[in-house]
């Protein structure tokens, strides 16, 4: 058997990562109900971004602030195969991230679960990206301004300084 390439190994781990999230959610939902599964999933997604952000900050050699957030967040989005654009607000007082392709939303559509997509996206994206802002603060705020899973053409995340 030939050795796997680094790209194949990365694809394996990415596929496993996304699959396990969806599988445990569906199993928990079946054992309890949707509201309980979403509550626990949201709790998980308030911890995982801390781990991701702190690791990326260390690897990238950055501390805090909007530019460090942009650098680490775009690294994460690229690794997770998101389609995205970033744009500075005037004077670099804020950062807008537009998600144009979301692998999580694609999985929801593939599994024909669009009916729950809006609730899942609202809960998880608010929790996840709010934590990203906190990890690069203090003084950074996150606002959700549209989700594809709720019918918007793109997900829009706004990060800004509060002080």
Summarised one tens digit per residue, pLDDT across range 103-125 is: 999 999 999 999 999 999 999 99
Residue 36 domain-assigned (yes or no) = yes
Residue 89 has pLDDT above 90, yes or no: no
> Residue 93: what pLDDT?
86
Give the CATH number of the domain where residue 142 resides.
Answer: 3.30.1380
Residue 1 domain-assigned (yes or no) = no
Residue 24 domain-assigned (yes or no) = yes
Contact predicate 81/7, CB 8 Å: no
Provide the domain limits for residue 128. Answer: 6-161
The values of phi and psi at residue 152, to 5°, are -75, 155
CB atoms within 10 A of CB 74: 16
> Residue 14: what pLDDT?
87
> Residue 101: what pLDDT?
97
Residue 38 domain-assigned (yes or no) = yes
Contact predicate 36/44, CB 8 Å: no
Q: What is the pLDDT of residues 29-78, one digit of tens each?
A: 999 999 999 999 999 999 999 999 999 999 999 999 999 999 999 999 99
Number of domains in the chain: 1
Residue with more model confidence, 138 or 132: 132
């Amino acid at each position: 058997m030939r050795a796997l390439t680094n790209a194949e190994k990365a694809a394996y781990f990415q596929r496993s990562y996304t699959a396990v999230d969806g599988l445990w959610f569906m199993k928990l939902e079946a054992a309890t109900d949707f509201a309980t599964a979403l509550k626990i999933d949201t709790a998980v997604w308030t911890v995982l971004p801390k781990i991701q952000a702190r690791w990326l900050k260390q690897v990238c050699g950055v501390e805090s602030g909007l530019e460090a957030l942009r650098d680490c967040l775009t690294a994460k989005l690229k690794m997770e195969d998101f389609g995205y654009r970033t744009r500075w607000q005037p004077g670099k007082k804020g950062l807008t991230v537009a998600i144009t392709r979301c692998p999580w939303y694609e999985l929801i559509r593939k599994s024909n679960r669009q009916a729950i997509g809006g609730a899942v996206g609202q809960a998880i994206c608010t929790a996840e990206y709010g934590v990203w802002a906190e990890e690069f603060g203090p003084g950074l705020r996150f606002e959700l301004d549209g989700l594809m899973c709720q019918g918007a053409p793109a997900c829009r995340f706004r990060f800004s300084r509060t002080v």
